[in-house]
Amino acid sequence: MKPVQINKGNSPVVLAVPHAGTYVPVDIETNLNTNGRKLADTDWHVDRLYRGLLPGATVIKANFHRYVIDANRDPSGVSLYPGQNTTELCPQTDFDGLDIYKKGCAPKTAEIETRRLAFHAPYHQAIETEITRLQHEHKTVVLYDCHSIRSHVPYLFAGALPDFNIGTNNGETCDPALEKLATDICTQAEGFTSVVNGRFKGGWTTRHYGNPASGVHAIQMELAQNTYMLETPPWQYQPERARETKRILRQLLQTIESFALS
């Protein structure tokens, strides 16, 4: 399986989907324990949720699972959230802090580098290539990073996660006007909660590519999974529950596109 799936469009908006993939090579799967093989930390159905919401947007999806290597982590291995519980470039535990590998089978430095070259690097090369292509067509390009996570993960955060979690690394990765547009839409969404730069301020993708001065803006959206699916196995997508979430996301993406085109 190719590590990355790319659907090219001509909109100034790029949708990046780093964690919806479930592919795990056999040699890696063999080393996962029973808990790891559940792949519980997948951003389940995120690609389906966003499909068709912004016709013309370029979509870049990592087909590999985050347990292979996390496409939204710094390739150097530096933590994005110093002092807080998080998972590594090649995670050894799940979001509950439980081991995902059989004893003694977690990847060492050489294997992590092999995975980086085979999976992480092609994903980010695709993002770089598409941003560069679109910059030849548009003065402004917006990278929108699509994520989701269970609404209750005590190992990572206390209490219930808001429904919409906007991350701009404290305003550094996009124009303040774009952050406000996104914030206003989510704040005004009836029946939903939201926060800006709360527990999730934007991962490596947002921080690495967001450079407003160069015309590239980046924003991460971390959705609470209960806004569109069941948060327990078998992780079913729920079309009725997703309908209103999709409406808000469509409005958000259209607004972001309008910002870029203006």
DSSP output for 133-181: HHHTT-S-EEEEEEEEE-S--TTT-SSPPPSEEEESTTTTSS-HHHHHH
The pLDDT of residue 154 is above 90 = yes
pLDDT of residue 64: 98
| CATH code where residue 82 lies | 3.40.630.40
* 27-56: pLDDT as tens digits: 999 999 999 999 999 999 999 999 999 999
Whether residue 169 has pLDDT greater than 90: yes
Neighbours of 29 (CB within 10 A): 15
- What pLDDT, on the 0 to 100 scale, is given for residue 223? 98
Q: Quick one: pLDDT at residue 242?
A: 98
* Residue 116: domain span: 4-261
Is the per-residue pLDDT at 79 higher than 90?
no
Q: First vs last Cα of the chain: how many Å apart?
A: 39
* pLDDT band at 78; cut points 50, 70, 90: confident
Residue 238's pLDDT band, with cuts at 50, 70 and 90, is: very high
Distance from C-alpha of 202 to C-alpha of 208, rounded to nearest angstrom: 10
User: Which tokens in the block code for residue 242?
Assistant: 């997703």
Q: Answer whether residue 84 shows pLDDT above 90.
A: no
The number of folded domains in the chain is: 1
CA distance 259 to 257: 5
Q: Report whether pLDDT(122) > 90.
A: yes
Q: What is the pLDDT of residue 227?
A: 98
- Is the pLDDT at 147 greater than 90? The verdict is yes
8-state DSSP, 43: -
- pLDDT category at 82 given cuts 50, 70, 90 is confident
Q: What is the pTM of this model?
A: 0.97
Annotate the chain with DSSP letters as a single string.
Answer: --SEEEE--SSSEEEEE-S---B--HHHHTTB-TTGGG-TT--TTHHHHHTTSSTT-EEEEE-B-TTT--TTS-TT---SSTTS----SS-SB-TTS-B-B-TT-S--HHHHHHHIIIIIHHHHHHHHHHHHHHHTT-S-EEEEEEEEE-S--TTT-SSPPPSEEEESTTTTSS-HHHHHHHHHHHHTSTT--EEESSS----HHHHHH-BGGGTEEEEEEEEEGGGTB-SSTT--B-HHHHHHHHHHHHHHHHHHHHHHH-
Q: Tens digits of per-residue pLDDT, 125-144?
A: 999 999 999 999 999 999 99
